[in-house]
Amino acid sequence: MEKETFGKRLKDLRVEKGLTQIELAKELNIDKSTIAKYETEKIVPSVIMLKLFVDYFNVSAGYMLGWED
């Protein structure tokens, strides 16, 4: 089984909530291109951004980073 990455987990969680990249970006007050870059693994989140996603999606940092199921 392929290891889940932050970008894949972010996209999956966003889609589960029925949000577009634009809608999620507005919810979190960040640029849409930033969401796209995270999802395509062009950039990695800072600790502050990771916490923002963890809190928003109500998941653990380990889950977001693909360390746990």
**In angstroms, what CA-CA distances link 47 with 2, 10, 17, 18, 54?**
24, 15, 23, 25, 10
Asked if the structure places residue 32 within a domain, the reply is yes
Kindly give the parts of the chain with pLDDT less than 70.
1-2
Q: What pLDDT is recorded for position 40?
A: 96
Name the DSSP class of 4.
P
Give the C-alpha separation, 14 to 16, whole Å: 5
Q: What pLDDT is recorded for position 2?
A: 59
Asked if the structure places residue 10 within a domain, the reply is yes
| Stated pTM of the model | 0.91
Asked if the structure places residue 42 within a domain, the reply is yes
Q: Residue 26 maps to which CATH number?
A: 1.10.260.40
